[in-house]
Amino acid sequence: MHNSYNIIADMAVSSLLEEVETTPKPGLVDIRNSGAHSDMDYPLFVQSSNSLRAYFAECAKLGSMGLSMKELAQNLRKAGIAAEKKMFETTRGVNTQKGLVFSMGIVCAGFSSLVAEKSQIDDSSLKERFAQISSSLLENEKTADSNGLRALTATGIGGIRKEALSGFETCFEQGIGTLRKSFEKGRTSNGAAVEALLALISFCEDSNVVHRGGTAALHFVRERAKEILSRDYEEETLLKKTSQFDDECIERNISPGGAADLLALTLMIHKITTQKERLL
């Protein structure tokens, strides 16, 4: 199993890197620009992503150990707080991927636990396991006075907490569903990821957007994403329209960071469902 921990960690890091490489992304850091952010850029995200590799391997190891849900949650919480500290040291205090530390850790542990149990690995079993781990992890978190809970409530009005408790349902229903259809239409990996991000933006209640621009900003990004998706553009036009959306978000100082985190998780789930044979 030891090598499988590294494989899972590599999948997680590559998902984070593919998210930031997805271009264009409205208001978000990508290869094209830094979006609505003046304190971070693409190279910083690369450093941040790579700093989490050992942590993701640790989460995979914890998931394979047959611990009770309570024990697993305690260990994941401890590992996540340490990983968050290392990320901030790497980025010199810039919050690049705080929301993903715990959520991607849950995904790594959940996937690894199913592999260790020799259980079936599909959308349903993954979502159920992620929800089980999240429920245990959040069971005693009643207030936002811990690093772990602040990370877990960083995304969405309902928070990544709500997403986690659902087993990241939005990733499965909006993200993965759109990604798979995009590949069926013949889109490139980048085009499919852009389309999946738009689907996530159109659906999730993103507190990053609300914090910067209020509910009016949330309405704007959701409706703009829906408008682009409704046209079913060819990929070249899709990217052009999304670039215009990016410019509009930058002008309004809007950054849908919650949707970006969900895209990274979506890309990871896609890797799990298409590459699971590497670990079975």
Q: Given this model, what pLDDT does residue 207 score?
A: 81
Q: Given this model, what pLDDT does residue 278 score?
A: 86
| Interval 78-106 mean pLDDT | 95
Sign of CA dihedral 138, 268, 11, 46: negative
**From residue 161, how far is each of 5, 46, 69 by CA, in Å?**
25, 25, 17
Domain ranges in the chain are 2-278
Q: Given this model, what pLDDT does residue 280 score?
A: 75
Sign of CA dihedral 264, 68, 273, 58: positive
Is 83:89 a contact under the CB 8 Å cutoff? no
**From residue 81, how far is each of 34, 69, 98, 130 by CA, in Å?**
27, 18, 10, 19
Is 229:26 a contact under the CB 8 Å cutoff? no
**Interacting residues of 148 by C-beta distance below 8 A, sequence separation 6+:** 77, 80, 81, 102, 137, 141
**From residue 217, how far is each of 5, 210, 250 by CA, in Å?**
40, 6, 12
**From residue 125, how far is each of 5, 62, 267 by CA, in Å?**
20, 18, 17
| Interval 25-40 mean pLDDT | 96
Q: Given this model, what pLDDT does residue 206 score?
A: 87
Is the pTM higher than 0.85? The answer reads: yes
pLDDT band at 1 (very low <50, low <70, confident <90, very high): low
**Residue 248 half-sphere exposure, CB side, CA atoms within 13 Å?**
12
Residue found by looking up tokens 């079993």 in the block: 125
Mark out the alpha helices in 92-206 (DSSP H runs). 98-116, 123-138, 147-152, 159-165, 169-170, 177-184, 189-203
- Measured at the alpha carbon of residue 159, what is the angle toward residues 154 and 161, in degrees to the nearest 5? 100
Q: Given this model, what pLDDT does residue 272 score?
A: 97
Q: Given this model, what pLDDT does residue 144 score?
A: 45
pLDDT band at 71 (very low <50, low <70, confident <90, very high): very high
Is 207:156 a contact under the CB 8 Å cutoff? yes
- Percentage of the residues of the chain whose pLDDT score is greater than 70: 92
Mean pLDDT (the chain) is 92
Give CA–CA dist 176/97, Å, rounded.
Answer: 21
On the question of pLDDT at 160 being above 70, the answer is: yes
| Interval 127-154 mean pLDDT | 69
Peptide bond into 256 cis (omega under 30): no
Q: Given this model, what pLDDT does residue 28 score?
A: 98
pLDDT band at 2 (very low <50, low <70, confident <90, very high): low
Q: Given this model, what pLDDT does residue 161 score?
A: 78
Q: Determine whether 265 is exposed, middle or buried from the number of CB atoms within 10 Å of its CB (0-12, 13-18, 19+).
A: buried
Is 183:192 a contact under the CB 8 Å cutoff? yes
The one-letter amino acid at 215: T
Structure tokens, 190:
């980048």
On the question of pLDDT at 178 being above 90, the answer is: yes
- Percentage of the residues of the chain whose pLDDT score is greater than 90: 84
